Structure 1
């Protein structure tokens, strides 16, 4: 499996990458532009990401905007609806507004608070049948 981890905090990105390593290859982007570039590159190479782990609050382009653009790229390039990537939103914030926006606006499959990554990430991925 191919995973994309997007977080402006490199410590969090590396923690996620380490937790995901037993399940697949991880690419890391620390900003929205780089994330979009990697996302498009993987599609163009015929190896789209099966899951994207997206921080919500980032400088410049926030996670919601990055996801919106990724979904546009995906819609333009995919041949099959089943190719749609799983989206796991990651944030230090657990406020209702951002969580709702993630699920309904970005079609998120799961939400994990950064403080709970060590304990909640793997159970959430199992719950959405990603691993």
Structure 2
């Protein structure tokens, strides 16, 4: 299983990589733009990500924008819903607007609020059939 972790905080990368060690291969990037680039490279290389863990608040392109571009590319390529990557939003934002955007605009599988706690993250991933 391949994860792409998109967050501008390197400590989140380290934490999630250690949490997912032995469960998934993780690539990490620091911005929405880098996330989109990595996503495209993986698609072109015929080795797409199974899961994208996306922060919302990042400088430049935010997580919603990056996820919308990724979803549009999947549609353009005819990737069926069952074969699309699972989107996990990881953010400190809990307002209705951001939660709604995540689920309705980009079809997030789950929304995990920071600070991240090991048991909660793993439980959310299992409950949403990601792990």
- Work out whether the TM-score is over 0.5: yes
Cα distance change of structure 1 residues 78 and 50 upon mapping to structure 2, 3 Å threshold: farther
CA distance in 1 between partners of 2:116 and 2:96 (Å): 17
Aligned position for 1:43: 43
Asked whether the equivalents of residues 88 and 111 of structure 1 are also in contact (C-alpha less than 8 Å), the reply is yes
Cα displacement (A) at 1:3: 0.4
Cα displacement (A) at 1:103: 0.9
Cα displacement (A) at 1:98: 1.1
CA distance in 2 between partners of 1:10 and 1:17 (Å): 11
Matches within 5 A, 1:5-20: 5-20=5-20
* Unmatched runs of 5 consecutive residues or more in structure 2: none
Q: How many residues align?
A: 131
TM-score, normalization by structure 1? 0.93
CA distance in 1 between partners of 2:78 and 2:27 (Å): 20
Aligned position for 2:120: 120
After TM superposition, the structure 1 stretch with the greater mean CA deviation from structure 2, 86-95 or 12-21, is 12-21
Cα distance change of structure 1 residues 120 and 59 upon mapping to structure 2, 3 Å threshold: same
Cα distance change of structure 1 residues 117 and 77 upon mapping to structure 2, 3 Å threshold: farther
CA distance in 1 between partners of 2:66 and 2:22 (Å): 26
* Unmatched runs of 5 consecutive residues or more in structure 1: none
Cα displacement (A) at 1:75: 1.7
Cα distance change of structure 1 residues 7 and 23 upon mapping to structure 2, 3 Å threshold: same
CA RMSD of aligned residues (A): 1.3
TM-score, normalization by structure 2? 0.93
Aligned position for 1:28: 28
Q: Specify the SS of the correspondent of 2:115.
A: helix
Asked whether the equivalents of residues 43 and 77 of structure 1 are also in contact (C-alpha less than 8 Å), the reply is no
